[in-house]
Amino acid sequence: ETGVTQTPRHLVMGMTNKKSLKCEQHLGHNAMYWYKQSAKKPLELMFVYSLEERVENNSVPSRFSPECPNSSHLFLHLHTLQPEDSALYLCASSQGPPGGGFYTGELFFGEGSRLTVL
Amino acid sequence: RKEVEQDPGPFNVPEGATVAFNCTYSNSASQSFFWYRQDCRKEPKLLMSVYSSGNEDGRFTAQLNRASQYISLLIRDSKLSDSATYLCVVNGYAGNMLTFGGGTRLMVKP
């Protein structure tokens, strides 16, 4: 059983809907990430939180909005998505240095939320 | 040029074969290198880190060539269960984040 759980596992939504993806990590890590995995493309880093502070990623459209209420939970709020946003969204966590920042060692991934936008 | 580049494959090999994958990276300042494995419709999982002197874990051997900026993964005595996509991962981009290659798909046949 993975130490990072994501819900829902599958989501179908229309372009005008608002939905949220949820991620919870049970590993005591202090950094959490959202990645996007599209067919035939590398994993794309979307957002990073370290000690609940967000690293800005200007390349992600504003229709994706992350939220990190505490070090164990991460959300990705979705609104007015486009069909090309259909992909597997993976949450991950890692243990960074105590003072914050990112440890570039092992990432622990959840099983992903497969999103289809109609 | 892609930051981390891999041959997508697929590599189709018989059981027992030896297979090698290469990965090239563009950032000469990168310091950390990894191979992840991703099974079909599953999440990526760390297979092994790659150290400067090269390292081995059972049937798997990883090598780093800093001068040519590539890393390699060698799998000996392939098993059916080795069938998966192997992701090359390098740090040092965008604030020291980990950057993933597109993956190399391996299919081991009986």
What pLDDT score does B10 carry?
A: 94
- Within 8 A by CB and 6+ apart from A54, the residues are A47, A48, A66, A68
Which residue from B31, B42, B101 is facing A42, i.e. has the nearest CB? B101
Contact A107 B96 (CB under 8 A): no
CA atoms within a 13 Å half-sphere pointing along the CA-CB vector of B80 = 2
What string of pLDDT tens digits covers the 110 residues of chain B? 678 999 999 999 999 999 999 999 998 888 889 999 999 989 999 999 998 888 999 999 999 999 999 999 999 999 999 999 999 999 876 666 788 999 999 999 99
CA distance B59 to A76: 39
Kindly determine whether residue B46 and residue A107, on different chains, have CB atoms separated by under 8 Å. Answer: yes
Does residue A103 have a pLDDT over 60?
Answer: no
List chain A residues with CB under 8 Å of B5: none
Range from A7-11, A105-109, B78-82 carrying the lowest mean pLDDT: A105-109
Q: Residues A13-26: what's their mean pLDDT? A: 93
CB contact at 8 A, B98 and B90: yes
> E-assigned strands of chain B?
4-6, 11-14, 19-25, 33-38, 44-50, 55-57, 60-65, 70-75, 84-93, 97-100, 104-109
Residue of chain B whose alpha carbon sits nearest to that of A108: B45
Those residues whose C-beta lies under 8 Å from the C-beta of residue B57, and which sit 6 or more positions away, are: B48
Q: Are A40 and B94 in contact (CB < 8 Å)?
A: no
CA dihedral A64, A84, B92, A51 (to 10 degrees): 20
Does the distance separating the beta carbons of A109 and B44 come in below 8 Å? yes
- Mean residue pLDDT across chain A: 88
What pLDDT score does B31 carry? 84
- What distances in angstroms separate CA B52 from CA B34, B62, B72, B108, one per listed residue? 12, 9, 12, 29
Nearest-CA distance from A109 to chain B in Å? Answer: 6
Say if residue A2's pLDDT is above 80.
no
From B105, which residue of chain A is nearest by alpha-carbon distance? A40
Q: Are B72 and B20 in contact (CB under 8 A)?
A: yes
Higher pLDDT: A17 or A26? It is A26
A8 band by pLDDT with thresholds 50, 70 and 90: very high
